[in-house]
Amino acid sequence: MATRPKTLLERHYALLGLALIAPTVLVFCAVIVYPLISAIYLSLFSIFTPTLEGEWVGLANYRELLTSGDFWSALRVNLIWTIGTLTLQIVAGVGMALILHQNIWFRSLARSLILFPYFVSTVVAVLVWKWLFNDLYGILNHLMMTAGIIDWPIDYLGMMPNALISVILVGAWKYFPFVVIAVLARLQTIPDALYEAARIDGAGPVARFFDVTLPQLRDVLVVIIMLRAIWDFKEFDLIFLLTGGGPVNSTETLPLLVYKEAFALNQMGMASAYAVVMMLIMLVFMILYVRRTRSVDGA
Amino acid sequence: MIRKIAFNLFAWALVLAVAFPLFWMLVTSVKPQFELFRRPPTILPETWTFEHYIGLLKETNFLNYFWNSIILSTTTTLIVVAIATIGAYSLVRFKYRGRETLAFLVLFTYLLPSVVLILPLYLMLVQLGLSNTITSLVIAYTTFALPYALWLLRSFMAGIPEDLESAALVDGATRLGAFRDVILPQLLPGIISTALFTFILSWNEYLFALVLVNSDEARPLTTGVMNMLVSSFNIEWSLLMAASVMMSVPLIIVFAFLQSYLTRGFGAGGVKG
Amino acid sequence: MADVTFSNVQKHFGAFRAVQDLNLDIREGEFVSLLGPSGCGKTTTLRMLAGLEFPTSGEIRIGDRVVNDVAPGKRDIAMVFQSYALYPHMTVGENIAYPLKKRGVEKAERARMLKDTADMLQLTPLLRRKPRELSGGQQQRVALGRALVRDPKVFLLDEPLSNLDAKLRGHMRAELIELHRRLGRTMVYVTHDQLEAMTMSDRIAVMEGGKLQQFAPPQEVYREPSNRFVAGFIGTPGMTIIDGALSGSPGAWRFDAPGISVEARHLGPDAAEGAASMGVRPEALTIGTGDTPATLRLVEQTGHENIVVVSIGDIRMTGRTTPDKVWSPGEEVMISIDPDMPHFFADGPNGKRLNAKPSPRGNEPSHSLSNLSEVSP
């Protein structure tokens, strides 16, 4: 597009706009863009964390990473965790949203209670769940034994596959409220006329769900799934605090691996390489999400 | 009628099941230590006690951590919301080259994993001599809080009719005058909502605190409380549950009085995109 | 003296040309409507005048001053928005007084001016309310009050009546006319409603596709539309436009279309043989007597007249008759077209009018036209 002579006023406005965005740009450059580039740069070094001294190794870190079992194992765990917890979040979230959309007693109180886990600190959530999971005095084992589901107390976090399942369940508990609120908001915008029309056409409750509700929810679900997939994939706190990656490394996801390399194994360069590769994997999701948001914005 | 009651009971059973861990946290925090190990466990405490809360405040560093968290989260929120408010105004209502790219960048950073940034940030802050300070955490928290706040506020800003600003301009206001007189009052609910989200996000942050701060002077609640768990010889669950409850106090306040702002923030940011 | 001038103004949004080659002189004290279908560039034109959009090229003047670089607040204009744009967090009084405050009018003076305006618009009892507590009509008055309070040089009104119901709209139309007469200020009024434009304006600027089609007093726009677009756009029921061809020579033109052949009188020097169209207003059509057979298709009884659609072959024409005539659809009737009344246009959707111009009339703004509101339905 050809540049055109702008009016003074227009130029004045553009300058003002730039001045207002300048703090954002400065902060972004300092704490996001610069570190991001540094991360890539660091991944080409072998750095000993306590002294922060290192030497150039080129792509050696990446070569080692791709041939080592750790990376592939962490990626596998990461995918199982993401898909597992995301699926549960979506199913539980949509279900609970449909329930809360009905006119139940004390609806707003119910909604607050459901929402709370999402906002509570991961540290709190983990402490509470660790107490619930406690093998000797935990209420969970007690309830399960009373109900006759198990004969002996279960070790929820110290054994496989229990540990991974527990992590996935706690993740679902903590994050499904996000889905509830998002779906609930969308449900409230579906016009009643659609349901009335479906009823006149003879659709029962199940048919109404599949023919009216679900198609209306499709768009918001796509967005939720992409967003939650990105957030679940990069989850660190919850898994780190619950199991620390253990037993051994059976719940170790990529973010945990980055942390371990950098601060337990003191391999800062290697850790950066892991972080960069992890970001590249996430980039696929991120680009999908950004593109979708843009097209929605444009419409 | 019966179906309605049955449905309500079913719904509430589910809601209570979801809320049970939080209920259990409260109950445990007011049980005396010996009652914790009773078999079968008591659902409601036989003896109520606040000794754990008193112990928490008197004998541990809890108050210190709490205070750190307050300063940290408040500072982060104030800085981030101030920058994001004018930034969002610029992104939504001004025309200049590169504006679209910038908006795209904001969204991108909003999704960026902290783990990628933490290593270089750690190096940077160590070199600046800021490690083990609250300042270092404020700087680090900006990396996730600013994109988040910008994204939310951008969406709120876009919801304010452009005609209002136009009217103020015609009525004799400058751009900044219109911003102050007309846009800011309209944006206020959005700003409150964004501030709450930013505050909660900072309050709950763990990873940066774990990596960047290694002294009790600057430690916030998240790492502080986890430290109490790790360092004690035998785990005092009642004490930890009391700490968890105390740690959730700001949240409970928000939930009790300002919940509509949280729901609004959801609509504007996370989901609508 | 011209009060508002657009000289060769262009406005492009990327590849879209919103306004092209606009030249417009609005006289001091004149009520001018910018009329056209949506997307014709009328609102963009108004917003450029307000300083809310920036012309890609060209010059805009208010009085003697070029205002391209002048901020909206310093142009000495006031504007009423289609959405009213009342500040939701301010009371009615604060809304109306806001422009005064921004101009540094001192407090006592501000209160006095606010009182005058509120009295004039009967808003005094509402001054302490918030805009959302008001009805649509009341909000409209507040928006008007905010514009009136500081007596600007030019008033800009962007479809201010479009959010009101039909009855209130008629009432506000009369009030605006009265207001214009009382204040004698220049008003630029954007609308897509030709009734508003016809009844209120001294002159109408008809726009389409970003271009000015005609700028003339309402009667002239109606009687001598400059081209086929204007002819079709103005008038209810609309003009029947029949595609056909002109043949003959100056002084002896004929217009032919399938089923119709008429003498084309009063053609000007631009007339030429070939494709052309003929426009017939309902009042040019006589139904019941004449020499051309037609079939009656539709009768709409409005009470004071009947609107009748007849067809000749594929051509459908609209006419009016007195309400006492009783017709039934499908009936064969004889019709005639008053040979002195049709308009002829060159080929194409914006084909120029080919009729000879009558002797030029006075160009003074004629306030008497405002009285049309009492006559119109």
Residue C211: CATH number of its domain: 3.40.50.300
Q: What is the mean pLDDT of residues C330-335?
A: 88
The whole-angstrom distance between B218's CA and the closest CA on chain C is 42
The answer to whether B269 and B197 have CB atoms below 8 angstroms apart is: yes
For residue range C72-85, list pLDDT tens digits in order. Answer: 999 999 999 999 99
Are residues C67 and C167 both part of a single domain? yes
Contact between A7 and C69 using a beta-carbon 8 Å cutoff: yes
What is the Cα–Cα distance from A227 to A286, expressed in whole angstroms?
Answer: 8
Task: Select the residue of B163, B166, B172 nearest C103 (Cβ to Cβ).
Answer: B172
Which residue in B94, B175, B206 is closest to A122 by CB distance? B206
Looking at residue A189, its pLDDT comes to 85
In a domain, C366, yes or no: no
- Token representation of residue C178: 């009265």
**DSSP letter string over chain A?**
----PPPHHHHHHHHHHHHHHHHHHHHHIIIIIHHHHHHHHHTTEEEETTTTEEEE-TTHHHHHHHHSHHHHHHHHHHHHHHHHHHHHHHHHHHHHHHHHHS--TTHHHHHHHHHHHHHS-HHHHHHHHHHHH-TTT-HHHHHHHHTTS-SS---SSSSTTHHHHHHHHHHHHHHHHHHHHHHHHHHTTS-HHHHHHHHHTT--HHHHIIIIIHHHHHHHHHHHHHHHHHHHHT--HHHHHHTTT-STTTT--HHHHHHIIIIIS-BHHHHHHHHHHHHHHHHHHHHHHHHHHHHHHH-
Stretch among A229-243, C192-206, C301-315 having the lowest mean pLDDT: C301-315
pLDDT for res C377: 35
CA distances from B248 to A6, B245, C320 (A): 54, 5, 78
- The answer to whether residue C82 sits within a structural domain is yes
**pLDDT value at residue B75:** 97
Listed residue (C87, C76, C90, C162) closest to C127, CA to CA:
C90
Which residues of A fall within a CB distance of 8 Å from C69?
Answer: 7-9
In a domain, C351, yes or no: no
Place of tokens 């928290």: B141
Tokens linked to C185: 């200020």
Query: Looking at the domain assignment, is residue C372 inside a domain?
Result: no
Packing angle, helices B51-59 and B62-93, rounded to 10 = 80
Placement of tokens 């409150």 in the chain: B192
Q: What is the structure's pLDDT at C367?
A: 39
CA atoms of C342 and C355, how far apart (whole Å): 9
Please name the residue of chain B whose CA is at the shortest distance from the CA of residue C77: B170
Question: Do both C196 and C244 map to the same domain?
Answer: no
Highest average pLDDT, of A264-268, C83-87, C303-307, comes from C83-87
C210–chain A Cβ distance below 8 A for any pair: no
Residue C334, helix vs strand vs coil: strand
The Cα–Cα gap between C96 and C94 comes to: 5
pLDDT at residue C302 greater than cutoff 90: no
Q: What is the pLDDT of residue C372?
A: 38
CB contact under 8 A, B172 and C52: no
Last residue of a domain, one of C197, C223, C249: C223
User: What pLDDT is attached to residue C67?
Assistant: 92
pLDDT value for C116? 92
Determine the pLDDT at residue A68.
85
CB A236 within 8 A of CB A161: no
Interface check A2 vs C, CB under 8 A: no
Answer with the one of C177, C201, C223 that is the final residue of a domain: C223
C89–chain B Cβ distance below 8 A for any pair: yes
C-alpha distance from C351 to closest chain B C-alpha (Å):
37
Give the model's pLDDT for residue A286.
Answer: 85
Subunits that touch chain B (at least 3 Cβ pairs < 8 angstroms)? A, C
- Tell if the CB–CB gap between C87 and B164 is shorter than 8 Å: yes
Q: What is the pLDDT of residues A85-115, one digit of tens each?
A: 999 999 999 999 999 988 888 888 888 899 8
Same domain assignment for residues C110 and C140: yes
Report pLDDT for C360: 41
Interface probe for B, chosen from C81, C130, C158 (most Cβ of B below 10 Å), is C81
Give the model confidence (pLDDT) of C150-171 as tens digits.
889 999 999 999 888 888 888 8
Residues C111 and C148 in one domain: yes
| Residue C355 maps to a domain | no
- DSSP element (H, E) containing C242: strand C240-249
In the predicted structure, residue A168 carries a pLDDT above the cut 70: yes
Residues C129 and C214 in one domain: yes
User: What is the structure's pLDDT at A160?
Assistant: 80
C-alpha distances out from residue C331 to B77, C140, C316, C322, C353, Å: 80, 49, 14, 17, 34
Residue C2 has pLDDT above 60, yes or no: no
Pair (C136, C35) in one structural domain: yes
Report yes or no: A171 and A77 within 8 Å, Cβ to Cβ. Answer: no
Ordered by where they begin, the domains of chain A are: 9-56 (no CATH), 69-298 (1.10.3720.10)
Interface of C with B in 269-308 (CB under 8 A): none
The fraction of chain C above a pLDDT of 70, given in percent, is: 94
Q: Which of A202, A178, A88, A107 is nearest to B7 (CA)?
A: A107
Q: At what angle do helices B62-93 and B99-111 cross, to 10 degrees?
A: 150
| Percent of chain A whose predicted confidence (pLDDT) is above 90 | 39
Q: Measure CB to CB from residue A9 to each of C54, C56, C57 and give the nearest one.
A: C54
B215-226 as b/e: b if 16+ CB within 10 A: eeebbbbbbbbb
Radius of gyration over alpha carbons of chain A, in Å? 25
In this structure, the answer to whether residues C251 and C194 fall within a common structural domain is no
* Spatial contact of A91 and A169, defined as CB atoms under 8 Å apart: no
- Given pLDDT bands bounded at 50, 70 and 90, which one contains residue C376? very low
Looking at beta carbons, which residues of chain A come within 8 Å of C56?
Answer: 4
pLDDT score of C365 more than 80: no
Architecture of domain B62-271: Orthogonal Bundle (1.10)
Query: Do C244 and C111 share a structural domain?
Result: no
What is the per-residue pLDDT for B105?
A: 86
- Using an 8 Å CB-CB cutoff, list chain A residues near B113: 233-234, 255, 275, 278-279, 282
CATH of residue C329: 2.40.50.140
Q: What pLDDT, on the 0 to 100 scale, is given for residue A295?
A: 67
Find the domain containing C337 and state its range: 237-346
What pLDDT was estimated at residue A298? Answer: 44
Q: Based on the fold, state whether residues C21 and C163 are members of the same structural domain.
A: yes
A36, closest residue in chain B (CA to CA): B117
> A1 CB near a chain C CB, below 8 Å?
yes
At B203 the pLDDT is: 93
Give the count of domains, chain C: 2
Structure tokens belonging to residue A153:
């107390």
Where helices occur in B159-258 by DSSP H, the ranges are 162-170, 175-178, 184-204, 207-212, 221-231, 237-247, 249-257
Residue C373 placed within a domain: no
Per-residue pLDDT at B101: 87
Residue C371 scores a pLDDT above 50: no
Kindly state the helix (H) or strand (E) to which residue C240 belongs, with its residue range. strand C240-249
- In this structure, of C186-190, C221-225, C282-286, C321-325, the range with the lowest mean pLDDT score is C321-325
Q: Taking residues A117-135, what's their average pLDDT?
A: 91
Q: Supply B45's token pair.
A: 């405490």
d(CA C225, CA C215): 10
Whether C54 has its CB under 8 Å from any CB of chain A: the answer is yes
Cβ–Cβ below 8 Å for A10 and C56: no
Nearest CA of chain A to the CA of B18: how many Å? Answer: 7
Band (C363; pLDDT cuts 50, 70, 90): very low
pLDDT at C232 over 50: yes
pLDDT value at position A206? 86
* C178, C281: one domain: no
CB C342 within 8 A of CB C327: no
List the subunits that have 3+ CB pairs under 8 angstroms with A. Answer: B, C
pLDDT cut 90: percent of chain C above it: 59
Higher pLDDT, A136 or A29: A29
Residue C140 lies inside a defined structural domain of this protein: yes
Element (H, E) at C61: strand C57-62
Measure CB to CB from residue C98 to each of B163, B171, B174 and give the nearest one.
B171
Residue C229 lies in a domain: no
Residue C51 has pLDDT above 70, yes or no: yes
| Residues C207, C246 share a domain | no
Chains adjacent to C (≥3 CB pairs closer than 8 angstroms): A, B
**A258/B119 CB distance under 8 A:** yes
Residue ranges in chain B whose pLDDT is less than 70: 230-233, 266-273
Quick one: pLDDT at residue A179? 92
CA proximity to C258, closest of C205, C314, C181:
C314
What pLDDT score was predicted for residue C24? 93
Q: Which tokens is A44 given?
A: 């080409």
Q: Is the pLDDT of residue A297 over 60?
A: no
pLDDT higher than 50, residue C29 = yes
In this structure, what DSSP letter does residue C369 have? G
Which chain C residue is nearest to residue A6, measuring alpha carbons?
Answer: C56
Burial class (CB in 10 A: 0-12, 13-18, 19+), C340: exposed
Q: How confident is the model at residue C66 (pLDDT cuts 50, 70, 90)?
A: very high
Interchain contact, B119 vs A272, CB within 8 Å: yes
Give pLDDT, residue C375.
35
Q: Does residue C198 share a domain with residue C69?
A: yes
C-alpha neighbours within 13 Å on the C-beta side of residue B94: 28
State residue C32's pLDDT score. Answer: 96
Q: Round the CA-based radius of gyration of chain C to a whole number and report it.
A: 24
Using an 8 Å CB-CB cutoff, list chain C residues near B163.
81-83, 85
A91 vs B contacts (CB less than 8 Å): none
